[in-house]
Amino acid sequence: MDYKIIDVKERVLADNERCAAETRSALAERGVLLVNLMGSPGAGKTSVLLQLIKRLGAQYRIGVMEADVDSDVDARTVAEAGAKVIQLHTGGLCHMDADMTARGLEALGVGDLDLIFLENVGNLVCPAEFDVGAGLRMMILSVPEGDDKPLKYPLMFRVSDVMLVNKLDAAEVFDFDLDAAAARARALNPDIEIFPVSAKSGEGFDALADWLAKRLEERRRGL
């Protein structure tokens, strides 16, 4: 029984890789950057998006796909900020896969967009396993979750290009060691870019927005 399940999982993951590669090359041809934004429930994914839309929305045409097990709370919030938004319901599934993402991009329409964010389901485990075809994987670790999370959810830190340490404004209340968290993440992934931010106060977002804009410009020059 175990082996059967593993077979199916391997087949699913192989199909997923193929679909993700197609999405990645189709977006690269158009010079569009897709960012897969991941993190625990309540890590601040939507608030991070609002800060980035505020800083990059005048310069770039931004689209957002809000993936949720249920509800459309976040899609409404992001739409009010002025981005082009669609809500995706995973129907109980704990992550987005490449096929669902491809269908989401089709529904969103990418022809009039420069930068697209996929707000993945709040989960530090499953989304790390599924390449959705993004050009950039960005994960959020929030201060209240604790600096030991890289030890417990290593894959997420291993596959991410960028790690935001969010809720820095609450650092006083929690016993969070930023250097320890960064060292643990870099032990898993020496190339990970780390940005300490506060989506509440806006701290750190100018640097992050500049960095993202550079990645987008590089992508366009690659056309």
What DSSP designation does 201 have? T
**Does the footprint of a second copy cover residue 191 (CB under 8 A)?**
no
**Does the footprint of a second copy cover residue 109 (CB under 8 A)?**
no
Residues from 6 through 25 that contact a second copy (CB under 8 A)? 8, 12, 15
Q: Which of 79, 94, 194, 213 binds a second copy (CB under 8 A)?
A: 94
Residue at token pair 């959810």: 153
**Does the footprint of a second copy cover residue 111 (CB under 8 A)?**
no
Stretch in the footprint of a second copy (CB under 8 A) among 54-62, 130-138, 140-148, 214-222 = 140-148
Q: Which is nearer to a second copy, 2 or 191 (CB)?
A: 2
- Shortest distance, position 175 Cβ to a second copy, whole Å: 9
Which residue, 146, 145, 100, 153, is CA-closest to 128?
153
- Total residues binding a second copy (CB under 8 A): 40
Which residue, 55, 9, 34, is CA-closest to 116?
34
**Does the footprint of a second copy cover residue 5 (CB under 8 A)?**
yes
**Does the footprint of a second copy cover residue 187 (CB under 8 A)?**
no
Token duo for residue 53: 């839309």
- Shortest distance, position 129 Cβ to a second copy, whole Å: 7
- Rounded to the nearest 10 degrees, how much is the dihedral formed by the CA atoms of 37, 40, 43, 47? 40
Q: Quickly count: other Cβ atoms within 10 Å of residue 214's Cβ.
A: 10
- Rounded to the nearest 10 degrees, how much is the dihedral formed by the CA atoms of 180, 199, 119, 62? -130
**Does the footprint of a second copy cover residue 1 (CB under 8 A)?**
yes
Q: State how far the Cα of 136 lies from the Cα of 219, in Å rounded to an integer.
A: 11
- Rounded to the nearest 10 degrees, how much is the dihedral formed by the CA atoms of 192, 196, 202, 207? -50
Q: Which of 155, 178, 194, 213 binds a second copy (CB under 8 A)?
A: 155
Residue at token pair 């919030």: 77
> Which residue ranges make up the site for a second copy (CB under 8 A)?
1, 4-5, 8, 12, 15, 40-42, 68-71, 73, 92, 94, 121-126, 129, 142-146, 148-149, 151-155, 167, 169-170, 173-174
